[in-house]
Structure 1
Amino acid sequence: MPRASRLLLDVFQAGQLRPICPCVGIESVHRKPAYTRGYVATMAARQSEMEVESRERPRWSHTPPSMKAPVRSRLGSRGGRHEVNKDPRKLDEMYVRLLGPDGDKLLSEETKWLAVTHKSFDHGRRGFNDRLAFLGKRIVELQTSLSMLSLADAASSAANNQDPHGRQPFEHPAIEAVECLSEPSRTWVTYHKQISKVAEDYGVPAVPESPAASGADMVHAQAIFAIIGALALEKGSAVANEAARARILAPLGLLNPGR
């Protein structure tokens, strides 16, 4: 065969596709198996659905599907379940009764729900009010101490406590009411059962079956403290102090009329 014809034949054969040897797994390298492609497509569809759902609803208003187990560990609870409020109008009515007219507009929508959410709800997956309640309780304790120091009958109560040996203690108008700041009296005001009664007066729903055993009084007290803490963060200390005095200490009979 002439050399020119051999070169043309080599070029023609190079342009043709050669069969792949079955012992070489090139197809598995360049192409994914059918079940893998289906799994990837399903995961992509689920992720897109979760992204759309997250864009429609804010994070605090629902529990993400990725945080839910496919099977519940507890099949059922004894004694039934307490119905949780999901109506925003009912929540706004409670804020109006607690904080007065336009009380539902003092806090943002997310903070209003967060302040009344205990960590036992939905296993704390939507956020809860522990930190707000910690701040609010410190504010209520401070206002309680200031109210006790400004009581009008503090001097008369101290005068009735005479020393049996005739000793005369140091007296000064600025410290006449310090004896009112005893730990039992101040703790009585901030005790969760007392705050729970105030919460029920403002329309916070109570658990109908065994409130003491269910811990509802602690949940109600923590919600009230958390609302005060939320007011301090979003509206400032002046609004939070006034709400603590007028809405918590006044129903307990500890508000000084002169302030």
Structure 2
Amino acid sequence: MALNPSRSLSSTCKVLRQCRPSALTAAPVRPFSSTIARSFEYDAEPEQNQRPRWSYTPEKMKGPGFSINIVKDPRRKEWSCNEDPAVLDAMYNRLLGPQGEKMLPDEIKWLAITHKSFDQGRRGFNTRLAYYGRHILAFEATRSILVSPAGLSETVTPDAFNRTHFSHPALASADKLSNQQPQEIIQKEKMAKLAVEIGLPEVLRWKPRLPENLEGSGLTVVLNQTLYAIIGAISLQHGAEVAHKVARERFLRRLGA
């Protein structure tokens, strides 16, 4: 049977008239806010936008204003670190030579000397840079032993079965590692002494656990980590060739390698 378009249209209109007006009028969709959202946290604080990143703690990184840690001695909370860029540049010049402060950008220079204990790590810290730089310095220390002109012991223990050991020119220097280890060159005490000579403790950013006992707070370990971090930062900034050259000339030579 053929459909009657006119009858279908009239029945549809009749049903629509019987519906309540509230059913036909849907609730309006809530429009999007017309206000412009802030894209950066610095918009609310234009005065901080002019300051270097290393000199302040971001507002959204700050806590509620109190700490749940109870300090037994309030005097241990007081510790000041260097904030003068000139003092920091002087340290880099003593370590890397003239114009040494220009090898790294300002943000990286401050990051390399910042321990995770400083400002609860909210301004960044040098742990990853130190891990990278430690491997670079260990590699150069091993290489310095292998290429050293120190002669090997000619005394050979006779074999009970008259066997001859395998020898090859490429392996001739490997036996030098039995006389000296890389750990002997980059000892923690030697590295800490180098750090004191260049004035690193005066610019180091950290918070000792015991301000009255810096050695007991791990000063030697923190100084070593900071020197490693500087090498790691130079490698990431200038490449491996420059970093290995700095490790040989500015570190290992001073350590007696």
Unaligned runs of 5+ in 2: 1-37, 203-207
Tell me if 1:250 matches 2:247: no
Amino acid at match of 1:225: Y
Give, in angstroms, the shift of residue 195 of structure 1. 1.7
Amino acid at match of 1:176: A
Mapped to 2, the partners of 1:243 and 1:164 lie a distance apart of 44
Judging changes above 3 Å, is the alpha-carbon distance between structure 1 residues 48 and 115 closer, same or farther for their aligned structure 2 residues? closer
Judging changes above 3 Å, is the alpha-carbon distance between structure 1 residues 172 and 61 closer, same or farther for their aligned structure 2 residues? same
TM-score by length of 1: 0.70
Give, in angstroms, the shift of residue 158 of structure 1. 3.3
Which of the numbers 234, 238, 242 marks the counterpart of 2:241?
238
- Matches for 1:1-259 after TM superposition, within 5 Å: 50-69=44-63, 70-74=65-69, 76=71, 78=73, 80=76, 81-153=78-150, 156-160=151-155, 162-163=157-158, 165=160, 168-182=164-178, 185-205=181-201, 209-254=212-257
Amino acid at match of 2:170: A
Mapped to 1, the partners of 2:80 and 2:180 lie a distance apart of 35
| Matched positions, count | 207
Judging changes above 3 Å, is the alpha-carbon distance between structure 1 residues 197 and 125 closer, same or farther for their aligned structure 2 residues? same
Instruction: Give the conservation status (yes or no) of the 8 Å contact 1:144–1:189.
Output: yes
Judging changes above 3 Å, is the alpha-carbon distance between structure 1 residues 109 and 171 closer, same or farther for their aligned structure 2 residues? same
TM-superposition CA deviations, 1:19-49 (whole Å, max 9, x none): xxxxxxxxxxxxxxxxxxxxxxxxx9xx787
Instruction: Give the conservation status (yes or no) of the 8 Å contact 2:152–2:176.
Output: no
Amino acid at match of 2:98: P
Instruction: Give the conservation status (yes or no) of the 8 Å contact 1:188–1:194.
Output: no
Mapped to 2, the partners of 1:150 and 1:234 lie a distance apart of 27
Identify, as 1 or 2, the structure richer in helix. Answer: 1
TM-superposition CA deviations, 1:165-192 (whole Å, max 9, x none): 4654233333222123359722233343
RMSD: 2.7
Instruction: Give the conservation status (yes or no) of the 8 Å contact 1:99–1:247.
Output: yes
Q: Which has the higher contact order (CA 8 A, sep 6+)?
A: 2
TM-superposition CA deviations, 1:132-168 (whole Å, max 9, x none): 1111111111111111100111xx3332453464654
Deviates more, 1:73-82 or 1:144-153: 73-82
Match of 1:6 in 2: none
Unaligned runs of 5+ in 1: 1-43, 255-259
Mapped to 2, the partners of 1:100 and 1:77 lie a distance apart of 44
Instruction: Give the conservation status (yes or no) of the 8 Å contact 1:193–1:218.
Output: no
TM-score by length of 2: 0.71
Match of 2:26 in 1: none
SS of equivalent to 2:254: coil
Judging changes above 3 Å, is the alpha-carbon distance between structure 1 residues 105 and 173 closer, same or farther for their aligned structure 2 residues? same
Instruction: Give the conservation status (yes or no) of the 8 Å contact 1:136–1:227.
Output: yes
